[in-house]
Homo-oligomer: A and B are copies of this chain.
Amino acid sequence: MTRKIDPEGEIVTHIKNKDLVRKRRRQIVDAAVKLFIKHGYHKTTTRELAKETGLSIGSLYEYISTKDDILYLVAIAIHAEVEQGVKDALARPTHSKDALAEVIREYFLVCDRMSDHVLLMYQVTHFLPEKWEKKVLEAELRITNLFIDAMKQLRVLGKLPNLDDNTINLIGHNISIMGHTWAFRRWYFAKIFTIDQYIEQQTEFIMSYLEEAKN
């Protein structure tokens, strides 16, 4: 079920050894995430990237063909990590009586852990070459769909009111964005909430709508 995403196959390289390519690109992504978060994409130079990766610039350019490629690798890696986090939560047996709340909670915790990454995505997605921007938006949508599907399942079970699809879609996106919101409004929220309080309040907000509509 957990479809393996292999985006790297699309970035050209002259290196024959596939495992090596994977390994080096992982190094590149790790270095890039660190530097992009610190200085942003545009202000990070390929030289700095090479240095942080531990390769020479020459070698770096054997594994990618343009600086944009690195941005794409980073974007995909971040989305994959968030997606995995949510999927893990979905796979785990639910202790809470409310499965949806459980998923929301795990997702918000992922967003909390990865808030620098979330901010980075908002900064740079738009700078990807169109073809790759599309891929990244698809990844984003895949995550949102995890919430939407969870709600649709509950709807079938009669545990949720019979909302129409568009409304459920909207709620899914709202959940997704409320996670991001914790990341990019942390400068404010951290003054009045812990992450747990934030989760509790937002969950209540979402649930109250889903409950009320039931009647």
Point out residues on A near B: beta carbons under 8 Å. Answer: 40, 42-43, 119, 122-124, 126-127, 137, 141, 166-167, 169-171, 173-174, 177-178, 181, 184-185, 187-189, 192-193, 198, 201-202, 205, 208-209, 211-213
Q: How far is the CA of A123 from the CA of B209 in the complex (A)?
A: 32
**In the complex, how many angstroms separate the beta carbon of A180 from the nearest chain B beta carbon?**
9
Copies of this subunit: 2
**Judging by beta carbons under 8 Å apart, are A166 and B181 in contact?**
no
Interface-central residue, A43, A181, A192, by most chain B CB under 10 Å:
A181
Q: Known contacts A40-B126, A123-B126; is A185 also within 8 Å of B173 by CB?
A: yes
User: For the complex, would chain A's binding face be called helix, strand, loop or mixed by DSSP majority?
Assistant: helix
Q: List 7 A-B contacts (CB under 8 A).
A: A123-B126, A137-B188, A166-B192, A170-B205, A171-B205, A173-B181, A177-B185
Residue of B nearest to A181 (CB): B177
Q: How far is the CB of A115 from chain B (nearest CB, A)?
A: 12
Given contacts A122-B122, A205-B209, A213-B208, A188 and B173 within 8 Å (CB-CB): yes
| Whole-angstrom CA separation of A42 from B205 in the bound complex | 39
